[in-house]
Amino acid sequence: MNIENKTILITGGGTGIGFSIAKKLSGNGNNIVLAGRREDKLKSAAAQLQNTSYIVADVTKEADVENLVKQVKHQFGGLDILVNNAGVVTAYPLDSEEGVYEKAKFEMDLNYLSVVRLTEKLLPLLKASKDAAIINIESIVSYLPATVIATYSATKAALHSYSQSLRLVLQKTNPSVKVFEVFPPFVDTDMTKGFDADKLSPDEVAQDIYTALQNNDYSVRPGRTKEVYQSFLQSPEVTLKKFNGVEA
């Protein structure tokens, strides 16, 4: 698809993968809109990029979402690319005696339900564009759950299922709106500071997304995800156990 002269909204755009995507897509006549909860991070990020503004919004809150959609309409009159990047991960034992439900609900609200709501609200604007995209930042654990982040894995699996269905629906009803899914491994961001694992740089993820947009490649598998995904296709159960450090 063409990625020039676009209006692009990126949730969680002040840091990490979101900011790297903003950097990669800035210029070429694009208007970048960063959304997130922390105004200091958004303000700093926007100041570093061309034609970039920000809107403070917690995408889990209905009033914030309504205001976000209203401001995008008012300031830009439309939207061409929506990047659903905001997310959270918590690590804890799944067999813990307390707190599992609360943590799972928190993750599900942000990682999945907020995406469904924001996409629903912005679809009319995207459908009005002649060349639009929805980019959902998912994870390698969307199809290969990790026991240390089990409920996070479940939220990303839900997002993967939703994204596949949405793509098929839009291909029939509004083919000008493309749905891209991104399945990074661990990425070196604030969210993963407490995790001891090999990590990909967010700029590498952004570059892969940029290339995928140019080529209409709807499944983006950065770094080691490519190799792990091929192993998963060949032997799901064995790969699942190896992925979680269990003898197959």
Two structure tokens written together for 48: 């570093």
DSSP string across 48-96: TSTTEEEEE--TTSHHHHHHHHHHHHHHHS--SEEEE---------TT-
Q: Is 29 left (phi over 0), alpha (psi -120 to 50) or beta?
A: left
In the block, tokens 């026991």 appear at 147
CB atoms within 10 A of CB 191: 17
Residue 26: partners with Cβ closer than 8 Å, 6 or more residues away: 32, 49, 50, 51, 52
Nearest to 45, CA basis, from 72, 23, 68? 23
Residue 54 catalytic? no
Catalytic member of 152, 162, 210, 218: 152
d(CA 69, CA 20) in angstroms, rounded, equals: 23
- Residues marked active site are found at 152
